Structure 1
Amino acid sequence: MAGMSLNIAGKLGRAAMHSNLTPIVSILIFLIGLVALSVTPREENPQIDVPAANVIVQMQGASPEEVQNLIVRPMEMVLREMTGVDHTFGTAMDSLGVVTVMFKVGEDKEASLVKLYDRIMHNLNRIPSGASQPLIKPMDVDDVPVSVITLSSNDMDGLALKRLAERVREQLAPLKGVSVADIIGGRNHEIRVELDPTRLAAYQITLDQLRAVFKAANAGGPMGVLVGGNRVTKVWLEGYLQSASDVGMLIVGDSQGKPIYLRDVADVTDGPSEIDQLHRIGFGPAANVAMTGEAETPAVSIELSKKRGTNAVVVTSLIREKLESLKGDFIPDNVRVDITRDSGERADAAVNMLVEHLGIAIATVILILLLFLGWREAAIVTLNIPLILFVVLAIGLFADQTINRITLFALILALGLLVDDAIVVIENIHRHLHQGVKTLGDKAKLIITATNETGKPTIIATIAVILAFIPMAFVTGMMGPYMGPIPFNAPLAMAASLIIAYAFTPWIALRWMPCKVVEPTMEEKDQLPKDWVHRTYMRIAVPLIEKPLVRRIFWLIVLVLFVGAMLQPGWQFIRPAGINGPMTPGTVELKMLPKGNQNTFNITLDLAEGSTLEDTDQLAREIGDVLRQHPMVLDYETFAGRAGPIDFNGMLRGAALFREAPHLGEIRVNLLDKHLRSIRSAEIVLQIRDMLEPVIQANPKVSIKLVEDPPGPPVRATLLAEIYGPDYDTQRKIAGQVRDVFSSTYDVTDVDDSVGEDQHQFNVRIDKEKASRLGISTRQVEGALRDFLGGYNFGNVHMAQERHAVHLHVQLPKRLRAQVQDLNRIHVSSANGPVPLSVIATVEQSVAAKPVLSKDGHPVVYVTAEPKQGSQVYSLLEMDWQLDGSEVQPGTQLKTGGMRFTDTAPQDTFGYHMLWDGEMRLTLDVFRDLGAAFIVALVLIYLLMVGYYGQFILPMLVMAPTALTMIGIFPGHWITGQPFTATSMIGMIALAGIVVRNSTLLIDFILDYRKQGHDVKTAVLEAGAVRARPILLTALAVIAGTSIMISDPVFGGLGVSMAFGTLAATILTLFITPLMYYLWQRNKLDTAEPCPTSNS
């Protein structure tokens, strides 16, 4: 032994075994790991950084077509010249153009925005005259609120509630980690001047005169100083308007020598602003709230975002503590306080639950170790587990990783694998110590010998598993950072398990394991008649080796199982009944990601443009009446006239820009906590959708969508068709045809498009000749119409006690700007006095121009929908079959595309082209990347095996059983009722490493037996029988560790793939790998050829 050459494992074990640093380092790992577990930021899902910004340009009076041609198209062209840009999205509306630029995932946010600003500034010459300078508004995921606090009361009006919310915000905004703090709902304080057009006309007073009066009367401030008597004294002009009384007493003209005050021609009030949005809160049966009076209570919400890099759990905890201290004295008892969003608490609960699951998985693995190993050996292996996990968490802390669901799933995934290295080492030490030693020095030599023997094959097998994970780090798009913790943490855990197994295990074995082990080793147990594993293996393996008929039957069974398993996901595509429709019994559904189990979902309301705020509010109340009937509803917040607090899903779906309009509404529904209910949120949404069906049927022109938080990266819509072509009006007509196909397709709901309903408008046409004779300019008419109808802030009224500026708002009363006849009340200044608008203009009714949308410079019309409960793959393929080649107008056919693994450019120069986007594009990209990762992993593993064995055919035998995992994966999904998803495929990739690991250990033992002089038959049988127990032990550890994931709605597919794939592959590998080696050797032409040798 003294002259034995030590490999890297032996050298590491010898150095660590005799070092006093080994226990110190182990203790440090424990301490640093505990610190990392407590201080590493927690979040529910990994943060996906997608640099993006809106570039906004105004061009007063320009039609959507003008804006598209003069602003949006040139800007998209300029922005797409930048490197790192993924897509640009244009919106051209009346007088306004917006281009949203989305950079590629992973691009530096600050650098991207600087590059964008620089590009815009260098191309200002392309902006036409009359257009505003571009306004750049970044879209930052850190601006998404982590906490939303809702204050509600029946005893306060909107103004009082908002004032209270402002005071509460002042207390919460300075908290450490809080970034943006905004208020939604309520009404502002203002001085309202509601003009009476009749009285203005009677007194011959015009808006131009009022504007001049306001400007002249509202002035003041420091005027200078007086110097005298050895003193400098300030002079202050008290000229500012300070109350509604001051405003009402302004003299705006005279009549027969008497002054005309503003109060004579207008109603001047001090109070809340005009209602332009409504916000209420309602409670469902799950809240157990005793309601008095109205079913819904007026509310104001405070939304709070966190600073970048801070821990959401800590920030929201500080907010909750501060809020609790404000109740009673600061916040009156008649105001109810509800935290309607708490991302930190949700993240903490999700992480804590998975930490518990990780603990359960560890306990299960320990129990298996105790059953198969002695208690000392099991205890040593068990001590490896926290050391490995703490190493991973510590490195993750220094690498700016967060603890999230994906991180913990990666650790659970690796749990069954990371104990294998320690098992191999401790088992070999156990076998050597059974010989018995007299001195501690002899014991140390035996431990080093045992450690050295297992070094090379274990290292190679572990590297093979690591190579299976690493290619997943190169998944592109938003799915890359979402799944990123898996290729970061799983290989890291495997590498840590290898180092700790060869450093820590020999050290503790020297001091803890006895010098002579009475119990026989695994291999000796295998030789005893009572060993059922050995007997069972031999009963199956011997006939396979000796009897060709049995062998043929075995191959046939394997083939049937494999083909049957592959048909489970494939039958839906080839069945006579068609691809879409209910799943055939026994088949497996294909899906990107299944719906998660959330505590909240959204209902978005999009009425026809031109609908009033009252219409939107009434619809929201009707939906609220339905929500209060469902037993799982905790509370809901309605927003009429605007959307609710933005979330990450809404921001990347494009809902962050146009969020305020009378016809828009949103209802955020919070459900009973998922741990307190027996049904998933997806089922609740289905039930509520059915309950809302009468409301939906009664409002056929209203888009009512039930939007669930996606389990993975968000998309604009699950089913999204993009229609391109040379004529935009025809594209809109095609969208109607596509929408009809969507609506008639099985399992498709929430169908919508970007065309919208026709909206009528009144065009004021000026007789310029007549206006010119009267000395009236078009600009005067424009100002009068805008100020009378839209209102205008003529400065501020100075009230020192107010926290916000109190605007002096001048406008016609709402009752006098409701009908087209009211336009006749408007007068315009002329040289001869006020002139009614009807004298110089006529009013005509027309249909308002609709927005023009574009993507990457191509005009586009969108049609969107959501699957009701199944996978979008089948309904999309059926719709594609119906639409591809369909006649959209005489002599013109629609071509469809976007179903390839690479992006398809629209072919819209001469024809009409429809591309599929949404979740289908994400699905194709992810499965393309994961499929490529799987192939790369197999190639890397093969190259590793070629280098290890020094030949080409033997590595193929080692890797051949990889396909056997399918025999377990797809039936496992069918048994558990899980769809095959992207996470399932990750499990399939990981299984490649596990299968190769098992095959490598089997082949190594076969080669060792051959070197000892055994014939091929004996070698393969004995190697399989001897390695059956430890291989099964590792398989049980993997199954036990990953089975805990099966119940998760999103990562259940990963758990199913790992558990059932490992079970099938392990059992079959134990027989197929030795059998293939035996057949390969038997069929060699030159039987005298020296047997291959291992480098181990």
Structure 2
Amino acid sequence: RVSLFALIFSIGILVDDAVVIVENIHRHLSKGGKKLTEIIPKAVDEVGGPTILATFTVIAALMPMAFVTGLMGPYMSPIPINASMGMLLSLIIALVVTPWLFRTIIGNKVHHVETKNSKKGENSIFDKLMRPFLHNNKKGKLNRYLLIIVTIFMLFLAILLVPSQQVILKMLPFDNKSEIQIVIDAPEGTTLETTNQVMIELADYLKKVPEVEHMVAYAGTASPINFNGLVRQYFLRQADNMGDIQLTLIDKHERKRKSHEVALSIRPEVEKIARAHNVSAKIVEVPPGPPVQSPLVAEIYAQSDSQRAKTAEIIAKTFTKANGIVDIDTSLESPSERNIVVVDQAKAAQLGISQAQITQAIETAISGNDVSYLHNPNNKYSVPIRLELPQNRQNDWQTILNIPIQSRFGGKVTLDEVVDIKKGTWEQTIYHKDLLPVTFVTADMAGFQDSPLYGMFELVDIIKQDEQVTQNFIKPPLIVDKPSLKWDGEWQITYETFRDMGIAYGVGLILIYLLIVAQFSSYFVPLIIMAPIPLTIIGVMPGHWLAGSQFTATSMIGMIALAGIIVRNSILLVDFIRMQVAAGRDLKQAVIDSAKVRAKPIILTGVAAMMGAFFILDDPIFNGLAISLISGILVSTLLTLVLIPVLYFWYLSRFGLKNV
């Protein structure tokens, strides 16, 4: 699926090189007076260098993403690999095949000549737009400063949407799946009949939900393993106090609500039924990306088992203070009584009873034992003769203790003569992670934010008030000298993914900078050319806000791709200005002409990339990628047409035309 979306994502940017080449050929052809065979070499040579450079800047921005580590690496790697290979092939086709195809189809018959009226109209638009910023007097400088200040202010407002929670950050949004799972955990010692009764009540309610097509309940046994169960180890859930309900929804095209909306709607009633029976009911959805133990996980470390259990209980109570935290649970087991059979070994030895005889007698009474077989010549298999107590008396210890055992001295000895029954509790299961004993506190996030990160950040502030617990975010504590907490779950994958993608973004920017330095032989010009990269935020963040979408890992991929796509526009503008000034053109007019001449290919390539993104706009997972491309290209392209020529004009005016 990811590879397919990588191809769809590439559709828009693959035609950019051909668009620039064809548009420039058409521009030269429209001047008239020359044959197409004379025009094509000059037109391709004019934009060939910038086109090659622009293509490699896109590849430089995308390729570092192929080296993202962790679980998300293989998940995202098809996008940079497929898109980069496509860009290389499209460049070769644009430089070799496209001009030949243009000549074959158009021939030498097209000889349009620009009319003065259209040219005058175009000049008047760009004159009015650009000239106020191109004066070297105080007014011109003030206009340039105002342009930069307004741009920075818009950038600040766009970034402000994140801390104000107008744009929610999340690893990946929920996909519209056809499955929902409800996991039941009753206190240890709960009978299978009680667990089954809870599941029957839940099933009676779930049958009334219109989106539920059918369900399967598993009481006391594990359900068939699924994608989520691989990490959460649901295949080990085999106990009388455990249950699992698998819901299958009707086809997504036949229901109005998405699977996540259905899960949110059934949660209140499911929790109500669970509380009535003092059990825990967790609603589990199929994760859109790599599965985790739980969206919100707190790993508790301490010096002793009792201290770790006490700290886990305190942290679990703290979870209830945060808004939107649901499905709170711990790996601690409820205290459950057990009967311990203590054998008086000295007395048993005197009476001629071995400990193995005592164990076998109790096992036979409770679980049964095949003592012999009934052989019938008419039956293919022998019939076992099973010895056990009646089911209604298997829990009666008085009956069990009255069972006689054959002594090796020839007499009979009842169990109560050699054993005593003592009351006790089952020991807690001790979990280990990286050789350290650990207790888990798990939860999920629901409500407005619907992102575990915000619930975790709120809990971090609450727990910080308790100076006795140390919080760790990246690695577990090296030395456990006091109660410590390590945050895990979706936070860990989010941190690793955005860390690696941030590094990839930085490496991509460095590669783009070096490519532009090599092309323009300047260390300052690349900074002007790369100026629109942060301006993409002005489009991306408001775009997510207007669409009501979360900023996810796929949104970040879109921003990284924008770094290469939007630099193409700056390269075309700056290269045209350099070419015009070198030919003796007045600097102001060259700046205006750059916007006028290059506006058409820049807008065409931008529209092509936006149209390619529209195909994935309705996908729940890659929706963020589409929004980033559409909104980022729209806003940054319009700003680039004005800001880059103005900044380059300021640079040449300040440092002289000798730098061209």
Q: Distance in 2 between matches of 1:992 and 1:1071?
A: 18
1:869-884 pair list within 5 angstroms: 869=447, 870-884=450-464
User: 1:1015 offset after TM fit, Å?
Assistant: 2.5
Q: Report if the CA contact (8 A) 2:365-2:400 is conserved.
A: no
Closer, same or farther: CA 530–458 of 1 in aligned 2, 3 Å = closer
Q: Which deviates further from its counterpart, 494-503 or 1019-1028?
A: 494-503
1:557-568 pair list within 5 angstroms: 557-568=150-161
Partner in structure 2 of residue 896 of structure 1: 471
* 1:972 alignment partner, SS class: helix
* 1:486 alignment partner, SS class: helix
Q: What are the Cα deviations for residues 160-205 of structure 1, in whole angstroms up to 9, with x where unaligned? A: xxxxxxxxxxxxxxxxxxxxxxxxxxxxxxxxxxxxxxxxxxxxxx
Closer, same or farther: CA 530–1013 of 1 in aligned 2, 3 Å = closer
Partner in structure 1 of residue 330 of structure 2: 753
User: 1:787 offset after TM fit, Å?
Assistant: 4.0
Q: Distance in 1 between matches of 2:403 and 2:54?
A: 85
Q: Distance in 2 between matches of 1:534 and 1:787?
A: 101
Match of 2:185 among 598, 606, 620: 606
Match of 2:585 among 989, 1014, 1020: 1014
Match of 1:945 among 507, 510, 516: 516
Q: Distance in 1 between matches of 2:103 and 2:203?
A: 70
- Alignment partner of 1:1049 is 2:628: no
Q: Distance in 1 between matches of 2:156 and 2:531?
A: 16
Q: What are the Cα deviations for residues 571-617 of structure 1, in whole angstroms up to 9, with x where unaligned? A: 35xxxxxxxxxxxxxx2111111222111110011112222221111
Q: Report if the CA contact (8 A) 1:753-1:863 is conserved.
A: yes
Match of 1:595 among 158, 161, 174: 174
* 1:929 alignment partner, SS class: helix
Q: More strand by proportion, 1 or 2?
A: 1
Q: Report if the CA contact (8 A) 1:724-1:908 is conserved.
A: no
Partner in structure 2 of residue 684 of structure 1: 262
Q: Distance in 2 between matches of 1:867 and 1:537?
A: 52
Partner in structure 1 of residue 143 of structure 2: 550
1:200-279 pair list within 5 angstroms: none
Q: Report if the CA contact (8 A) 2:324-2:445 is conserved.
A: yes
Q: Distance in 1 between matches of 2:380 and 2:642?
A: 79
User: 1:449 offset after TM fit, Å?
Assistant: 4.5
Partner in structure 1 of residue 19 of structure 2: 423
1:393-404 pair list within 5 angstroms: 404=1
* 1:916 alignment partner, SS class: strand
Q: Report if the CA contact (8 A) 2:270-2:281 is conserved.
A: no
- Alignment partner of 1:615 is 2:194: yes
Q: Distance in 2 between matches of 1:459 and 1:817?
A: 83
Q: Distance in 2 between matches of 1:411 and 1:715?
A: 28
TM-score, length basis structure 2 = 0.93
Q: Report if the CA contact (8 A) 2:327-2:444 is conserved.
A: yes
Partner in structure 2 of residue 769 of structure 1: 346
Q: Report if the CA contact (8 A) 2:18-2:98 is conserved.
A: yes
* 1:569 alignment partner, SS class: coil
Q: Distance in 1 between matches of 2:335 and 2:232?
A: 24
Partner in structure 2 of residue 513 of structure 1: 106
Q: What are the Cα deviations for residues 914-943 of structure 1, in whole angstroms up to 9, with x where unaligned? A: 110001111111111111111110001111
Partner in structure 1 of residue 82 of structure 2: 489
* 2:228 alignment partner, SS class: helix
Q: More helix by proportion, 1 or 2?
A: 2
Q: Report if the CA contact (8 A) 2:517-2:526 is conserved.
A: yes
Q: Distance in 2 between matches of 1:791 and 1:595?
A: 50
Q: Distance in 1 between matches of 2:493 and 2:43?
A: 49
Give the number of equivalent residue pairs: 653
- Runs of 5+ unmatched residues, structure 1: 1-403, 573-586, 888-892
Q: Distance in 2 between matches of 1:894 and 1:461?
A: 52
Q: Report if the CA contact (8 A) 1:726-1:908 is conserved.
A: no
- Alignment partner of 1:1078 is 2:643: no
Q: Distance in 2 between matches of 1:715 and 1:513?
A: 58
User: 1:875 offset after TM fit, Å?
Assistant: 1.6
Match of 1:715 among 285, 292, 299: 292
Closer, same or farther: CA 833–481 of 1 in aligned 2, 3 Å = farther
Q: Report if the CA contact (8 A) 2:223-2:234 is conserved.
A: no
Partner in structure 2 of residue 333 of structure 1: none
RMSD between superposed Cα atoms in Å? 2.7
Partner in structure 2 of residue 1090 of structure 1: 658
* 1:661 alignment partner, SS class: coil
- Runs of 5+ unmatched residues, structure 2: none
User: 1:684 offset after TM fit, Å?
Assistant: 0.6
User: 1:977 offset after TM fit, Å?
Assistant: 0.4
Match of 1:993 among 539, 544, 564: 564
Partner in structure 2 of residue 271 of structure 1: none
Q: Report if the CA contact (8 A) 2:32-2:112 is conserved.
A: no
* 2:183 alignment partner, SS class: strand
Closer, same or farther: CA 1034–911 of 1 in aligned 2, 3 Å = same
Q: Report if the CA contact (8 A) 1:723-1:860 is conserved.
A: yes
Greater RCO (CA < 8 Å, at least 6 residues apart): 2
Q: What are the Cα deviations for residues 370-415 of structure 1, in whole angstroms up to 9, with x where unaligned? A: xxxxxxxxxxxxxxxxxxxxxxxxxxxxxxxxxx1x1222222222
Q: Report if the CA contact (8 A) 1:718-1:918 is conserved.
A: yes
Closer, same or farther: CA 794–640 of 1 in aligned 2, 3 Å = farther
User: 1:488 offset after TM fit, Å?
Assistant: 1.7
User: 1:726 offset after TM fit, Å?
Assistant: 0.7
User: 1:788 offset after TM fit, Å?
Assistant: 3.5
Partner in structure 1 of residue 481 of structure 2: 910
Q: Report if the CA contact (8 A) 1:538-1:1025 is conserved.
A: no
Closer, same or farther: CA 413–1001 of 1 in aligned 2, 3 Å = same
* 1:859 alignment partner, SS class: strand
Q: Report if the CA contact (8 A) 2:19-2:604 is conserved.
A: no
User: 1:776 is aligned with what amino acid?
Assistant: I
User: 1:592 is aligned with what amino acid?
Assistant: M
User: 1:823 offset after TM fit, Å?
Assistant: 2.7
User: 1:560 is aligned with what amino acid?
Assistant: F
* 1:570 alignment partner, SS class: coil
Q: Distance in 2 between matches of 1:663 and 1:806?
A: 34
Q: Report if the CA contact (8 A) 1:1003-1:1074 is conserved.
A: yes
Q: Distance in 1 between matches of 2:361 and 2:129?
A: 95
Q: Distance in 2 between matches of 1:995 and 1:430?
A: 23
* 1:668 alignment partner, SS class: strand
Q: Distance in 2 between matches of 1:796 and 1:416?
A: 77
- Identity over the aligned pairs, expressed in percent? 39
Partner in structure 1 of residue 421 of structure 2: 843
TM-score, length basis structure 1 = 0.57
- Alignment partner of 1:639 is 2:207: no
Q: Report if the CA contact (8 A) 1:885-1:895 is conserved.
A: no
User: 1:629 is aligned with what amino acid?
Assistant: K
Closer, same or farther: CA 451–641 of 1 in aligned 2, 3 Å = same
Partner in structure 1 of residue 5 of structure 2: 409
1:376-455 pair list within 5 angstroms: 404=1, 406-433=2-29, 443-444=36-37, 446-455=39-48
* 1:711 alignment partner, SS class: coil
User: 1:959 offset after TM fit, Å?
Assistant: 0.7
User: 1:556 offset after TM fit, Å?
Assistant: 2.6
User: 1:1021 offset after TM fit, Å?
Assistant: 1.2
Q: Report if the CA contact (8 A) 2:32-2:111 is conserved.
A: no
- Alignment partner of 1:652 is 2:231: yes
Q: Report if the CA contact (8 A) 1:469-1:989 is conserved.
A: yes
- Alignment partner of 1:928 is 2:499: yes
Q: Distance in 2 between matches of 1:796 and 1:949?
A: 94
- Alignment partner of 1:821 is 2:398: yes
Q: Report if the CA contact (8 A) 1:724-1:907 is conserved.
A: no
Q: What are the Cα deviations for residues 408-447 of structure 1, in whole angstroms up to 9, with x where unaligned? A: 2222222211111111222233345557799xxx755644
Q: Report if the CA contact (8 A) 1:711-1:1050 is conserved.
A: yes
Q: Report if the CA contact (8 A) 1:433-1:516 is conserved.
A: no
